[in-house]
Amino acid sequence: MKILVTGATGLIGRSCIYPLLLAGHDVRALARSPQKVTELPEKNVHAWTDDEVPASDLVSGCDAIVHLAGEAIADSRWTEERKKKLWNSRVSGTKNLVTALSTLSPSDRPKVLLCASAIGIYGLSTEAFDETSEVGRGFLSDLCVAWEKSANEAEKLGIRVVNLRTGLVLSRKGGLLSQAGPVVLGSGKQWMSWIHEQDVVDFVIHAIANPDCHGPYNLTAPHPVTHEAFIKILVQTWGIPLTIKAPAPLLKIALGEMASMILADQKILPQRTLASGFQFKFNKLEDAIEDLLGKSSFLDRHFSVKQFIACERSEVFAFFAKAENLEILTPPWLHFQIKKQSTPTVQTGTLIDYQLKIHGVPTKWRTLISHWNPEQSFIDEQVKGPYQKWHHVHTFETVPGGTLISDDVTFRLPGWIFGKILLPWIQKDIRKIFKYRQKKIQEIYSQDTTP
């Protein structure tokens, strides 16, 4: 199938692209910053902003469109200007997308449009809501109502529409877990309706494949919890002995109107989702947290990137199998040099000693190859070096037209307070290093230019 994803640089957009590629689909993307969509061939990614109607050739011939574009809802205070941006990025953007679809002949239109929405449509209550419940009042409810109305206009074009009313998404790559700490917000008694990112992606695939799926679906796990219970499970996983409280009045002063979303009581049940035959992989919060965090420390941070290469997997892996090629992929300002390798070729148990400079400071680093699966994956772990923990999983997977390289890093800085202070700068350095690495890989393996 030819599947178009909008909002491809967002948390859910990136999560959707990966399994669709592995399933063999022809995946295309529209994004504000197409250069950031490294998971796809350049020819499959195009620029689009919510204030314009996308060109008809960008949406023509798709079997399905997964429309996820929209400004992040909780990134800053809801000033009037911010609320306008949130509204336009969702409502106006969806209207413009449907306008583009209306210019196509019926044979060129997608069979299904999956459009993001949110459980904010129901308003606030301690009572349980499902897809049959009435909508609420307030900015979030009004926004979601207008958002879904814009998407539902596609039904007049003969397109099946699915509204993805998504709850709080749990992921290692961002979202709620990247912002949470051992802090109970408000009373802690407010209900939270959460969902593991894998279940969001699985439902997207489920809804595309099932022609009976249409209308609103709550993407929330069957067992919501209170905020206090959520934090309790988190701190137990992290091994933190205590929590602190942030009173509701303080949150309202700090966050303004946005605090109403954080302190909201929303107990949402996925009745239509379950009735569609969909089965959640993660019904209980404990299982979801265990899957995402495992034995992680509160101080652990995660970083991941993916990159498409128009080349056979065997050739790509052969390049990475030579430790000396790391010098090619490492920015020159790090002055990276390999000093010693314990085995002639890289394998499980190989130790590699490097020398580099971090902001001009000479640093020694020893890496252990703890896992080696030729042509598929390998793991390197820091034995000695600047981090308290560095666990880097390299994965190589065959996708249509080439190979998808995945880098998933879990790292921990030394020194509890000191490490937290330095974290923003270290994360910036890591992003810069991997950006350079991706650029060099593109230079080594030229992109496929066939139409």
Q: What is the pLDDT of residues 205-217, one digit of tens each?
A: 999 999 999 999 9
Residue 261 CA: distances (Å) to CA of 74, 89, 284, 381, 388: 9, 19, 23, 40, 36
**pLDDT over 70 percentage in the chain:** 96
Whether domain 301-444 has CATH 3.30.530.20:
yes
Cα–Cα distance, 13 to 400 (Å, whole number): 19
Residue 422 CA: distances (Å) to CA of 195, 207, 293, 359, 365: 31, 43, 22, 13, 19
Q: Where in the chain is the domain with CATH 3.30.530.20?
A: 301-444
Q: Give the pLDDT confidence of 228-253 residue by residue, as tens digits.
A: 999 999 888 888 877 888 877 877 77
How confident is the model over 126-131, as a mean pLDDT? 88
**pLDDT over 90 percentage in the chain:** 69
- The answer to whether the Cα torsion of 170, 172, 175, 177 is positive or negative is positive
Cβ atoms of 358 and 390 within 8 Å: the answer is no
> Considering only CA atoms, which of 19, 216, 203, 229 is closest in space to residue 129?
216
For the chain, give the mean pLDDT. Answer: 90
Residue 203 has pLDDT above 60, yes or no: yes
pLDDT of residue 445: 85
Name the superfamily (CATH) of residues 2-293. Answer: NAD(P)-binding Rossmann-like Domain (3.40.50.720)
Name the burial class of residue 44, with classes exposed (0-12), middle (13-18) and buried (19+) by CB atoms within 10 angstroms of its CB.
buried
How confident is the model over 384-410, as a mean pLDDT? 94
Name the burial class of residue 351, with classes exposed (0-12), middle (13-18) and buried (19+) by CB atoms within 10 angstroms of its CB.
middle
pLDDT of residue 448: 44
How confident is the model over 272-293, as a mean pLDDT? 95
Beta bridge partners of 183: 244
pLDDT of residue 411: 92
Residue 450 has pLDDT above 50, yes or no: no
Cβ atoms of 116 and 86 within 8 Å: the answer is no
- For Cα atoms 98, 14, 315, give the angle at the middle one, nearest 5 degrees: 125
**Stronger pLDDT, 85 or 179, i.e. the higher one:** 85
pLDDT of residue 245: 81
Q: Give the pLDDT confidence of 143-185 residue by residue, as tens digits.
A: 999 999 999 999 999 999 999 999 999 998 877 887 777 888 8
pLDDT of residue 451: 34
Count Cβ atoms below 10 Å from residue 376 Cβ, excluding itself.
13
> Considering only CA atoms, which of 194, 176, 173 is closest in space to residue 9?
173
pLDDT of residue 419: 63
Q: Give the pLDDT confidence of 37-50 residue by residue, as tens digits.
A: 999 999 999 999 98
How confident is the model over 1-26, as a mean pLDDT? 93
Q: Where in the chain is the domain with CATH 3.40.50.720?
A: 2-293
How confident is the model over 436-446, as a mean pLDDT? 90
Beta bridge partners of 28: 4
pTM for the structure as a whole: 0.89
Which residue is it, tokens 């890591």?
A: 430
Q: Give the pLDDT confidence of 101-120 residue by residue, as tens digits.
A: 999 999 999 999 999 999 99
pLDDT of residue 201: 96
